Structure 1
């Protein structure tokens, strides 16, 4: 009964908090401006936002569970949320109080089915990390297990007792809040909050299934097999269950520990550049990415000798002088990018790198952020102005820009975006989180980090791949059309035979003449397709190989002449 009462109290507390500040936002942001009091509402906005964030911080630390996850996500949204909110929510993960070890011992022993003293040679009762859903302890495998796995020192991750029930309560509350907010038209028109909560729910439930996390770790390791930039801890499967996960201890230098990196002879600026490349590979090439790349989940591991050449994916350079590796941990929160969305994101990156406003907007539309009905003329004009003024600037250079100029641009973009029908599509919650954390990480490692320097060579590589894929696609399409045209006479003959054998009255001589014309026209269409394919292929390949490109373009004249003049011979025959 006590547990049920606590769950109800938790649910009501979350709803009261959300309801109170939703009403406050409605009053200050919607009602007062309608009565000409917008300036009054704006004057105290920063203080109100700071107060909301501070109170949510207290709520999250007190209740833990998914409230910590929500706060972490909000703190990473430096791109859309004001600093009054993000600063107050920083460090939430580090403030989670650990669970007393006796409770952890009971849960681990129940899961493993044997006493901890038999499962491990020893376990450190002081946790190495305490998170919202579980906590980790260092341990050592028994001699027999160590011989079988090939490693002895491990980290045992144990779920917080009762966390599944807490997650259920939190998700129930979040669903109700999403339902309330969806009744506000400006929210409903721009984001499907119930769908967003369901995506968050799916991710959260996967995160508390440690067997699923172990499978994610092995899949991630397979994606980077042979790539010396990335390492992944091995799983001790015999000591892992849904609530207990045992991994090789790979503790090294935290990626954001700049002083430790320098002491190890590692350049933080090089780490920033390489980290961006590794994350780009996950998002735009593999389609399977680490969605929680905060500093606690990534180590920089010095290696005893310089690493050899990696697989060559992305634009990461495996310099012969580099002697360190990224070691990722905690694979509970992973994301997948479907092929179609990944292609749209690749096109978006190419557009950003080339400062092509029109292509960027079309790519955003293809991704699904802008609805098909959106009139993007003003947005394209604003993007062109943005690229002209700020394109190519790094973080350090942007800090020197007059803040008033930033405010003017922000106001203009805010007005334009509010006038457009946009929405947050599915699969985007984790992508946005990963990109936000990656950008923040790189800037903290190197204040002069320029995202353009990372994006442009990567986009250039994607563009080269796309050219090759386009040539292959044109060739496949031409072959497909040729196949259809080759089969067309037999199919048409079969159709005529069926007509003649039936009871339908048909003027067969006229039908034969019509079919011959249709066949000639089909062959001319096929020639036109072949001409187009050869011309495009030649134009693309001329940039890489002048000889082959020129030969293809010259060869395109043959199908062009056929497409233009093949019909004349038919016209000299008998007329209908």
Structure 2
């Protein structure tokens, strides 16, 4: 078993591996360049990094536990690890051997409080999936429970025995390594390593609590209730505990099985497009997303045919142990970043990056704004699909210049931001597997366009609310003046001057003109924005806006000296 041995020995082994390769990195990447021997360190850098990644791969497979999760977690971070390492770690899967079924049975019976033969009509001792934290077995519910629930085909997910202790040891080792890295200024200026480790720890502890995962699944399902694009497995709460999770068996076509998709009459390109859109909705609309959308966790489920005879299908998500939440501030920043990209607005994109919290408040963004403006000037006139036809050397030259600017700026990883990037990296990989020529940005652009239209509608709504408030104030202004004069008279202060009367009348006319001007502006802006969605209605609003404009103009003429008085 990969978990045999003393916990202290495991802890020391992880630290020895980390210390050895941190010292190696310090020597080649920091010390040698400082004494003018940087060429020696650069000479075999690619080979050295690949060797380090392969050694970590082997260590992770042997130890299991969180080491595999660490590799998967970090493989999507090009700003944390060099590409030579991330390429090696991208292939790291849960390659640990399965736990003997006798041990799984003992743990499951202890958790459920009954023999499995009474809980299930049958159970397959061969796991359908074996992972570093747990493994899953297909089963059928016993008739009474199956009749009550409405289905009998289920999957029983059980934690690996002793995983709690293993996770504790691994987290202790990772916290120690994070402390070491936090003392390296080159790293501490870029990444808050202790915070990063704690974020990973929180995610890992939640992932081994199956009650938490079941609640995540129901929350995710509620977000997509009524959405025909997405489905989730139903939880069998009566057969679920902290270490055992039982849910409906929803196994279907693996999302990256192109041959099976085409055999079912489903176009892989359509699957990629829908998958990207669904993930965008999770990030930008719900603020709650599946943080581990690798191919093993998403199925394509055929559900009949539509009116045209084409296969109707939906995306079925499973495994909700690793979920992420997007705070309102980060979500707003990400939305603004997408809108800025769609609008080719470099300054607004930098502001959005700051709002997300990636750049520290002290960062001097003038050079970054210049680089973003140059980016849009050189490539902004093209659609995202057209960018693939640009000479790679042009991209490379710009990437060098742009990279120098980015590296000069202090940045940090906001809470949960690592999960966001991981999720989108996996989405890009899945979409590319479905169609090699698929470009994720081809889906980003129309989604950003929709955000622009939504922002326009929000602007109209906000302006309308402000207009109503101003109109209400203007409408009540004459009555308030009259009320003031009445109170003044009642209070014994008699004001009776022709000059004051003229001032009051002038204020009343001014209030009417303000009202007309506000109505004109509101109708004109609303019409202009809504013409994108409804040309007829937008034109009508713009035409009607002429009426309050005429009133504002002509009432102003009547107020001039020498004009007829009423």
Q: Same fold (TM over 0.5)?
A: yes
In structure 2, the partner of 1:212 is 212
Alpha-carbon contact 1:364-1:370 (below 8 Å) kept = yes
Hey, what's the Cα distance between the residues in 2 that align with 1:170 and 1:559?
Answer: 75
Deviation at 1:251, TM superposition (A): 1.0
Is 1:137 matched with 2:126? Answer: no
Deviation at 1:264, TM superposition (A): 2.5
Alpha-carbon contact 1:395-1:447 (below 8 Å) kept = no
Is 1:347 matched with 2:336? Answer: yes
Hey, what's the Cα distance between the residues in 1 that align with 2:465 and 2:147?
Answer: 53
Cα 1:488/1:36, change in 2 over 3 Å: farther
Alignment partner of 2:305: what SS? coil
- Name structure 1 gaps, 5 residues minimum: 309-318, 496-511, 570-576
Deviation at 1:87, TM superposition (A): 3.0
Deviation at 1:449, TM superposition (A): 0.6
Aligned positions of 1:312-331 closer than 5 A: 321-331=310-320
Cα 1:263/1:565, change in 2 over 3 Å: same
Hey, what's the Cα distance between the residues in 2 that align with 1:432 and 1:89?
Answer: 16
Cα 1:80/1:442, change in 2 over 3 Å: farther
Cα 1:524/1:105, change in 2 over 3 Å: farther
Alpha-carbon contact 1:396-1:447 (below 8 Å) kept = no
In structure 2, the partner of 1:438 is 427
Hey, what's the Cα distance between the residues in 1 that align with 2:189 and 2:555?
Answer: 49
In structure 1, the partner of 2:327 is 338
Hey, what's the Cα distance between the residues in 2 that align with 1:89 and 1:117?
Answer: 41
Aligned positions of 1:312-461 closer than 5 A: 321-387=310-376, 388-389=378-379, 392-394=383-385, 397=388, 401-402=391-392, 405-461=394-450
Please identify, of 553-562 and 429-438, the stretch whose mean Cα deviation from structure 2 is larger.
553-562
Hey, what's the Cα distance between the residues in 2 that align with 1:528 and 1:144?
Answer: 71
In structure 2, the partner of 1:128 is 128
Cα 1:307/1:567, change in 2 over 3 Å: same
Alpha-carbon contact 1:524-1:566 (below 8 Å) kept = no
Alpha-carbon contact 1:365-1:372 (below 8 Å) kept = yes
Deviation at 1:340, TM superposition (A): 3.1
Deviation at 1:494, TM superposition (A): 13
In structure 2, the partner of 1:554 is 546
Deviation at 1:533, TM superposition (A): 4.7
In structure 1, the partner of 2:494 is none
Alpha-carbon contact 1:157-1:245 (below 8 Å) kept = yes
Cα 1:94/1:162, change in 2 over 3 Å: closer
Alpha-carbon contact 1:277-1:454 (below 8 Å) kept = yes
Alignment partner of 2:87: what SS? helix
In structure 2, the partner of 1:57 is 57
In structure 2, the partner of 1:150 is 150
In structure 2, the partner of 1:537 is 526
Alpha-carbon contact 1:120-1:141 (below 8 Å) kept = yes
Cα 1:522/1:438, change in 2 over 3 Å: farther
Please identify, of 540-549 and 409-418, the stretch whose mean Cα deviation from structure 2 is larger.
540-549
Please identify, of 549-558 and 268-277, the stretch whose mean Cα deviation from structure 2 is larger.
549-558
In structure 1, the partner of 2:487 is none
Deviation at 1:551, TM superposition (A): 4.2
Cα 1:62/1:494, change in 2 over 3 Å: farther
Please identify, of 555-564 and 34-43, the stretch whose mean Cα deviation from structure 2 is larger.
555-564
In structure 2, the partner of 1:87 is 87
Alpha-carbon contact 2:57-2:71 (below 8 Å) kept = yes
Deviation at 1:259, TM superposition (A): 2.3
Hey, what's the Cα distance between the residues in 1 that align with 2:280 and 2:309?
Answer: 22
Alpha-carbon contact 1:269-1:445 (below 8 Å) kept = yes
Cα 1:428/1:480, change in 2 over 3 Å: farther
After TM superposition, the score normalised by the length of structure 2 is: 0.84
Cα 1:227/1:359, change in 2 over 3 Å: same
Alpha-carbon contact 2:302-2:311 (below 8 Å) kept = no
Q: CA RMSD in A?
A: 3.8
Hey, what's the Cα distance between the residues in 2 that align with 1:482 and 1:362?
Answer: 33
Deviations, residues 544-576 of structure 1 (Å, cap 9, x unaligned):
44634414643664897799999999xxxxxxx
In structure 2, the partner of 1:298 is 298
Hey, what's the Cα distance between the residues in 1 that align with 2:106 and 2:540?
Answer: 70
Alignment partner of 2:233: what SS? coil
In structure 1, the partner of 2:166 is 166
Alignment match of 2:466 (pick from 473, 477, 480) = 477
In structure 1, the partner of 2:184 is 184
Deviations, residues 259-311 of structure 1 (Å, cap 9, x unaligned):
222232322122111111111111111222111000110111222x2258xxx
After TM superposition, the score normalised by the length of structure 1 is: 0.83
Deviation at 1:419, TM superposition (A): 1.0
Alignment partner of 1:245: what SS? strand
In structure 1, the partner of 2:258 is 258
Cα 1:485/1:321, change in 2 over 3 Å: same
Alignment partner of 1:95: what SS? coil
